[in-house]
């Protein structure tokens, strides 16, 4: 199974911007790699993108990134045997939105 993970653009690897250097911290480990930016086009340094198998697939906002990071932390917690439902997927614990009936 492949997962897309949020990574931050920290440099451009070629003048066209089609390849970027992206990085993220996994725990205390800094992970840095090259990402193909052809689907998104050149992105500014500091932009967060979802990367899967070396391909940047979409730009992510700070809110989206927080939700993804929480989900990744939950998966790691399950693997470590320390999952706590109260700590993870907080966005799912909120009351559902109320949809008014336009009658």
Query: What pLDDT, in 10s, does the model give residues 39-71?
Result: 999 999 999 999 999 999 999 999 999 989 888
d(CA 18, CA 41): 6
Q: Is residue 27 located within the same domain as residue 12?
A: yes
The answer to whether the Cα torsion of 37, 39, 41, 46 is positive or negative is negative
Give the mean pLDDT of 75-101.
74
Within a domain: 23: yes
CATH number of the domain at 15, please. Answer: 2.30.30.140
Within a domain: 9: yes
Q: Is residue 74 located within the same domain as residue 86?
A: yes
Identify the bridge partners of residue 26 per DSSP, sorted by sequence position.
Answer: 29
In the chain, how many domains are there?
2
Question: Which structural domain, as residue segments, surrounds residue 27?
Answer: 1-59
Identify the bridge partners of residue 29 per DSSP, sorted by sequence position.
Answer: 26
Q: Is residue 42 located within the same domain as residue 19?
A: yes
For residue 10, the Cα-to-chain-centroid distance in whole angstroms is 15
Within a domain: 77: yes
- Tokens for 37? 């930016």
Query: Could you report how far apart the first and last alpha carbons of the chain are, in Å?
Result: 46
- pLDDT at position 41 is 95
């Amino acid at each position: 199974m492949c997962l897309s993970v949020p990574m931050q653009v920290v440099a451009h690897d070629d003048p066209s911007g089609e390849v970027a250097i992206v990085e993220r911290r996994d725990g205390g480990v800094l992970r840095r790699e090259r990402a193909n930016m052809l689907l998104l086009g050149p992105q500014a340094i500091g932009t967060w993108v979802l990367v899967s198998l070396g391909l940047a697939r979409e730009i992510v906002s700070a809110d989206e990134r927080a939700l993804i990071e929480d989900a990744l932390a939950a998966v790691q917690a399950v693997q470590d045997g320390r999952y706590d439902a109260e700590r993870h997927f907080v966005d799912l614990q909120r009351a559902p939105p109320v949809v008014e009936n336009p009658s």
